[in-house]
Amino acid sequence: MINTPKTLPFFGSGVGFPFRLSPSTGGVMVTTGNTEAISVALQYLQDNWTIREDAAPSTNHIAEAIGHILLTRPTEHDTLPEFGSRLFLILFEPDTNEFRQLAEAYFKFATVRWEKRARIPDTTSQFTSSSGVRWKIDGRNVDMGILPVYTYIEFITQQALGNLVLPFVTDRQARLQEYPSSVVDSNGHDYMSRYKGATRSYRDGSDYIRLRRYTPLPFSSGDTFHTVMRGDTWLLLSWRFYNDIRYWHILARCYVNDAANAGLDRSYLNTLADPPIGTLLRVPSRTRILLETANV
């Protein structure tokens, strides 16, 4: 009997991870979520993650998504600074029981946090160990200084809260998933969004939002300053100072206002790109922002 992997609509599909080309079409590989057990094999070699040449030919978008989560360091994802796992922190730690327990915790917590279509179980009959994470320990691996690890995945066969696979969620649910707000306007924007209260217009079959005019926050004695470094983006800076990426446009407004007052030309006023390295960026306090902009 041929065992056909089970595919459900809310398992979704998307660009494969690691990014690769399809041998059949020559285009970007697109994978689909299913109940197939294994889809991706990776190893850490010469200071970089690489694809195992003996990886199984089958594909599974869910398992690839879990691999993506585990191999991403927090703050690497610009719009979701918490996305990823802390596995990199213990990558070169000695092989001890404490190391394995911590690694298993990182596997499970990161999966529970970011992948709603599957989970790594606490116990499973598939392996001799009591956990869904299995360590392959033998003399050859010890001599080579490597520690293979296998994870067992349980697929959740019904739509789960927090799974953002379209069309099973609305735009508003997706927008408020990671940054919920108790009060939103008719367009789904909360009080910290630069779009809150803006007029929604329709023309030629398309709809768009007319941004409101705003008054930049002037300098205050409570403001602090930050020198922009390599890798700083508006979203990551907003996360660093306010623990919320929605405040980025406040920082951008302060930057534009201060640059204009300093007499800089228009080339310095582009907030679509990352802030220029070396710029002294003014950072209003979170309290001031809440007090002065909540009702604007």
Question: What are the tens digits of pLDDT across the range 125-177?
Answer: 554 445 678 887 787 877 777 788 888 888 888 888 888 888 888 777 777 78
In angstroms, the CA 231 to CA 77 distance is: 12
Share of the chain above pLDDT 90, in %: 10
Residue by residue, DSSP assigns 20-67 as -B-TTTSSB-EEE--S-S----EEEETTEEEE-TT--S---HHHHHHH
Give the pLDDT band of residue 228 (cuts 50, 70, 90).
very high
Q: Are residue 90 and residue 20 in the same domain, yes or no?
A: yes
pLDDT of residue 224: 94
Q: Are residue 141 and residue 38 in the same domain, yes or no?
A: yes
Share of the chain above pLDDT 70, in %: 84
- Highest mean predicted confidence (pLDDT) among 9-18, 25-34, 153-162, 274-283: 274-283
In angstroms, the CA 201 to CA 198 distance is: 10
pLDDT: is 6 or 3 the higher one? 6
Last residue of a domain, one of 111, 140, 155: 155
Q: Are residue 116 and residue 17 in the same domain, yes or no?
A: yes
Number of domains the chain contains = 3
Q: Are residue 202 and residue 228 in the same domain, yes or no?
A: no
pLDDT of residue 172: 74
Q: Are residue 28 and residue 139 in the same domain, yes or no?
A: yes
Q: Are residue 137 and residue 244 in the same domain, yes or no?
A: no
Q: Are residue 110 and residue 233 in the same domain, yes or no?
A: no
Q: Give the H or E element holding residue 167.
A: none
Residue 23 lies in a domain: yes
pLDDT: is 182 or 207 the higher one? 207
- Which residues constitute the domain of residue 265? 224-293
Residue 117 lies in a domain: yes
Residue 219 lies in a domain: no
Q: Which residue in 52, 2, 55, 59 sits closest to 28, CA to CA?
A: 59
Residue 218 lies in a domain: no
Q: Are residue 140 and residue 185 in the same domain, yes or no?
A: no
- pLDDT-wise least confident of 157-166, 177-186, 245-254: 177-186
Q: Are residue 119 and residue 187 in the same domain, yes or no?
A: no
Q: Are residue 193 and residue 236 in the same domain, yes or no?
A: no
Give the pLDDT band of residue 75 (cuts 50, 70, 90).
confident
Chain segment 95-136, per-residue pLDDT in tens: 888 888 898 888 889 988 899 888 888 765 554 445 678 887
Q: Is the pLDDT of residue 47 over 70?
A: no
Spatial neighbors of 122 by CB under 8 A, at least 6 apart, are: 108, 130, 131, 132
Residue 170 lies in a domain: no
- Highest mean predicted confidence (pLDDT) among 35-44, 73-82, 94-103, 276-285: 276-285
Mean pLDDT of 27-41: 78
Q: Are residue 24 and residue 113 in the same domain, yes or no?
A: yes
Q: Are residue 71 and residue 16 in the same domain, yes or no?
A: yes
Give the pLDDT band of residue 1 (cuts 50, 70, 90).
very low
pLDDT: is 283 or 202 the higher one? 283
